[in-house]
A and B are shown apart, each in its own frame.
Chain A
Amino acid sequence: MQWNWAFVAEITPTLLQGLKLTLLITLLSAIVAAVLGLVFAIARRSPNRLVARPVSFLVEFIRGTPLLVQLYFIFYVLPDIGILLPPLVAGVIGMGLHYATYTAEVYRAGIENVPRGQWEAARATNLTTRQTWVHVIVPQAVPPMIPALANYLIAMFKETPLLSAITVLELMNQAKSVANSSYRYIEPMTMVGVFFLGMSLVSVVILRWLEHRYGRLGK
């Protein structure tokens, strides 16, 4: 086994295409997970049991089953009942939904951390439920959650290779297909590792900054 720089140069453009797709998937899934997670968290707190119970069950169900199984289900089983999603969409929904259940827990912890007095004060000043959430609770609950949310973002990024099971040609799948035709694994797999590490380090820096910028609210 010898490291071949010429081969690295030859495969880098292909791998970069995979990396672009990996980043796109992570970004879209992160948005889905962030928004849906908040919806889950708020719905679980709903005083209406008809809302809270089913949502709780759904969240526990998704959290308790493997992402890979869910992806197979979304991609190969849903078409049987007429829902045919393109691989990328299926992947984003699968990842987003799965991670939404994790972020929902983060949100829950953040929301429960807002002192009771804040709720009471909101009620005393005659704010509606919506106003209470938008202007009082969420702005105080979100900043302390940033580090935990960032953790899940990085975890999600590193789980994108699972999508190769549903034929998404992301970074890992591109590397595999390169290895398939060249019979060499050392360069493609090393490059995949380097790309992932590089992107993770960059995102850590960005998230640190975010934390620094917004995380100290109220202290």
Chain B
Amino acid sequence: MRKTLLTLALLAAPATVLAETLDDLKAQGFVRIAIANEPPFTAVAADGKVSGAAPDVAREIFKRLGVPEVVASISEYGAMIPGLQAGRHDAITAGLFMKPERCEAVAYSEPVLCDAEAFLVPKGNPKGFKSYADIAADPTATIGAPGGGTEEKLALEAGVPRDRVIVVPDGQSGLKMVQDGRIDVYSLPVLSISDLLTKANDPNLEKISPVEGAPVYCDGAAFRKEDTALRDAFDAELAKMKESGEFAAIIEPYGFSAAAAMSTSRAKLCGE
């Protein structure tokens, strides 16, 4: 028994030395990032190629820092922060919007991608939803949102009870569930809903944006709390790219506004 415990302790030991330095990443030649599959924030093509605004920005910055490759793994929004803390990846670049409680748990970079929230509803918005509070007020309304995503939290905070907030595994399922009438509303950021609508090309659906009462949120690359040195190095390159216009050149083709990200700061968004 004692031997087993000892082995377990030895196995567990490396996990406690999690702090990653830029030098470690340079030496191994790649950085592990967590992404979702929610275009245009993060996208995985049918051939497995990772794109999307957030991984593209991260790829460029890490290249400048001397880490030539990013290895992306798809994760649920809710599993990203626990996965980061458990050392499964080194950074989250997935459009995980900054909210004060997330800022408590991870070290965010300066803002990267900003977007407001939107609803996907059947044509004509039959139930007339304009805000999360409207959904809370209608006792039969159901809303779909990604598990652990900002929209799920916003819906719950607005008072929609747990059993009416349906956790939808991915964008395609959410779209299908609105088409089939399983949920009344599917909520994602504006650009994600636009992307879904373009791909679905279904005249019976409509986008409501921006959602009233939900401010514009911005994401940042998220690092472990103890990896602030890595975060600061990331921030320095990000600032240079924002300055030179290269940042805008990467994110604007995806529809994001560089000006929005540059007009705000982590301190403001995290409520520091």
Chain A residue at minimum C-beta to C-beta distance from B179? A79
Interface of B: prevailing SS: helix
A76 touches B (CB below 8 Å): yes
CB distance from A198 to the nearest CB of B (A): 23
Binary A-proximity of B170-213 (CB < 8 A = 1, otherwise 0):
00010011011110000000000000000000000000000000
Bound state CA distance, A76 and B170, in angstroms?
12
Could you say which interface size class chain A belongs to?
A: 10 to 19
**Residues 159-207 of A at the B interface (beta carbon under 8 Å):** 164-165, 167, 169, 173, 176-177, 179-181, 183-185
> Are the C-beta atoms of A180 and B148 separated by less than 8 Å?
yes
Binary B-proximity of A71-84 (CB < 8 A = 1, otherwise 0):
00000100100001
Q: Which of B78, B81, B152, B162 has the most CB of A within 10 A?
A: B78
> Are the C-beta atoms of B78 and A181 separated by less than 8 Å?
yes
B163 touches A (CB below 8 Å): yes
> Are the C-beta atoms of A184 and B78 separated by less than 8 Å?
no
> Are the C-beta atoms of A180 and B79 separated by less than 8 Å?
yes
Find chain B residues with CB under 8 A from A167 CB: 166-169, 177
Find chain B residues with CB under 8 A from A181 CB: 78, 148, 153, 156
> Are the C-beta atoms of B148 and A173 separated by less than 8 Å?
no
> Are the C-beta atoms of A180 and B147 separated by less than 8 Å?
yes
Find chain B residues with CB under 8 A from A84 CB: 180-182
User: Chain B: how many interface residues by the 8 Å CB criterion?
Assistant: 26
Interface of A: prevailing SS: helix
Find chain B residues with CB under 8 A from A165 CB: 169
Find chain B residues with CB under 8 A from A164 CB: 167
> Are the C-beta atoms of A79 and B180 separated by less than 8 Å?
yes
> Are the C-beta atoms of A176 and B105 separated by less than 8 Å?
no
Find chain B residues with CB under 8 A from A180 CB: 76-79, 147-148, 152
**Residues 68-94 of B at the A interface (beta carbon under 8 Å):** 76-79, 81-82, 85
Bound state CA distance, A44 and B20, in angstroms?
62
Find chain A residues with CB under 8 A from B176 CB: 76, 79
Find chain B residues with CB under 8 A from A169 CB: 162-163, 167
Bound state CA distance, A203 and B44, in angstroms?
44
> Are the C-beta atoms of B168 and A183 separated by less than 8 Å?
no
Binary B-proximity of A53-72 (CB < 8 A = 1, otherwise 0):
00000000000000000000
Name 25 A/B residue pairs within 8 A (Cβ), A-sorted: A76-B173, A76-B176, A79-B180, A79-B182, A87-B182, A164-B167, A167-B167, A167-B169, A167-B177, A169-B162, A169-B163, A169-B167, A173-B167, A176-B147, A176-B167, A177-B148, A177-B152, A177-B162, A179-B82, A180-B76, A180-B148, A180-B152, A181-B148, A181-B156, A183-B82
Residues of B within 8 A of A (CB): 76-79, 81-82, 85, 105, 147-148, 152-153, 156, 162-163, 166-169, 173, 176-177, 179-182
Supplied contacts A79-B179, A177-B148, 10 more A-B pairs, CB within 8 Å: A76-B173, A79-B180, A84-B181, A167-B166, A167-B169, A177-B78, A179-B79, A180-B147, A181-B148, A183-B105
For the complex of A and B, 4 pairs with smallest distance between CB atoms? A180-B78, A180-B148, A79-B180, A183-B81
